[in-house]
């Protein structure tokens, strides 16, 4: 069984990846996470005593600590998800994004290279480093067009600029040093264990409390929505079957305007949540000042991963959003545990505007 070192395994996508690998007995997992505000071991209670699971609290910007972890566990694969990821937060404080997303990725690449170069031939040939990125590195689309692996980079926010930089580092370490890296760029994820600062959990939690549901601008921005369990299955497909040096775009084939997403969730809340304080949840929608530099539209062409690796999303938008709303309603204790005073759901990202 492969040993997989996952950075950021206590975050949203990372915790779903850990569950996927362990529940399906696909790999032994070493979860490396600093447990900053968005990383929570509450998301991993179900696997914390599993013999296939190991946790190390560590900062990817601490090279000595990361080297020690590599020496202790001797991983076969690295799946690098650790990153600062909230656009609004990057507007208020870009420095942390540059440090974690760029320098942290540099450390992971350089330590992986040093480790990989010393492996015996069999293990060296099987080693892979997968850098998990975002479609936001490509910038913004108009009403036409679609992102693919050959789309030119055009990041528009401090967050996306930092992720674009880390993508370039991963490619450079493959081209210059031969480190077997791969890159994925995914569309907007949704599903269980998403920290409640992102659109969908904010809608659900505000609706539960009868609070205004904030919609940026007129809600016309369009995103492609990818159910997180589909995403993590694609990540495993890429690292085990993808070609070294290749990039794969991962999308859900679910383009929706933000306002339509909000209304769908409000309708599901009407159906699934018995809240006498709220009549129609849609009445809570409140339009607020748009995010500075808010990209209009993202859309992913996932033809390459379908043709090369046989992966397609298995979850429709309707099924995925129903499952997501039900999960939050059934796991309010998790929401309380992870928030624990860290977030008040207030608007951020308006600094200097």
Residues designated catalytic: 135-136, 159
CB atoms within 10 A of CB 333: 9
Kind of pairing between the strands at 285-288 and 181-186: unpaired
Residue holding tokens 């996508």? 13
Give, for 4, the enclosing helix (H) or strand (E): strand 3-7
Question: What three-state secondary structure class fits 31?
Answer: strand
Residue 65 near residue 58 (C-beta atoms within 8 A): yes
Write the burial class of residue 160 (CB in 10 Å: 0-12 exposed, 13-18 middle, 19+ buried).
buried
CB atoms within 10 A of CB 210: 14
DSSP H helical ranges for the chain = 12-23, 63-73, 87-92, 94-97, 104-117, 121-126, 158-177, 199-208, 228-241, 258-272, 303-309, 317-330, 332-339
């Amino acid at each position: 069984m492969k040993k997989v070192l996952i950075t950021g395994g206590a975050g949203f996508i990372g915790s779903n990846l850990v569950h996927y690998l362990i529940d399906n007995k696909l790999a032994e997992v070493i979860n490396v996470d600093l447990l900053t505000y968005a990383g929570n071991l509450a998301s991993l209670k179900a696997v914390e005593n599993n013999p296939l699971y190991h946790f190390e609290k560590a900062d990817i910007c601490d090279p000595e600590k990361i080297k020690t972890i590599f020496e202790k566990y001797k991983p076969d694969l690295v799946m690098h998800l650790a990153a600062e990821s909230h656009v609004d937060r990057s507007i208020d404080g870009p420095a942390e994004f540059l440090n974690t997303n760029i320098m942290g990725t540099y450390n992971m690449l350089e330590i992986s290279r040093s480790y990989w170069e010393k492996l015996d031939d069999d293990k060296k040939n099987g080693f892979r480093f997968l850098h998990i990125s975002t479609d936001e590195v490509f910038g913004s689309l108009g009403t036409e067009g679609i992102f693919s692996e050959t789309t030119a980079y055009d990041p528009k926010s401090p967050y996306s600029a930092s992720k674009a930089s880390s993508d370039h580092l991963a490619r450079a370490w493959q081209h210059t040093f031969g480190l077997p890296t791969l890159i994925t760029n995914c569309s907007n994820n949704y599903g269980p264990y998403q920290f409640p600062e992102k659109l969908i959990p904010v809608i659900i939690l505000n609706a539960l409390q009868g609070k205004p549901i904030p919609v940026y601008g007129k809600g016309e921005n369009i995103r492609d929505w990818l159910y997180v369990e589909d995403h993590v299955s694609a990540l495993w497909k890429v690292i085990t079957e993808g070609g070294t040096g290749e990039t794969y775009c991962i999308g859900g084939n679910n383009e929706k305007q933000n306002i339509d997403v909000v209304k769908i969730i409000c309708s599901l809340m009407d159906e699934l949540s018995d809240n006498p304080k709220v009549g129609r949840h849609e009445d809570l929608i409140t339009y607020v000042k748009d995010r500075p530099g808010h990209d209009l539209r993202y859309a992913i062409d996932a033809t390459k991963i379908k043709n090369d690796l046989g992966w397609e999303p298995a979850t429709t938008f309707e099924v995925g959003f129903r499952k997501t709303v039900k999960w939050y309603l059934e796991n309010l204790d998790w929401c309380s545990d992870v928030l624990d005073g860290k977030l008040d759901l207030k608007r951020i990202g308006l600094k200097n505007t």
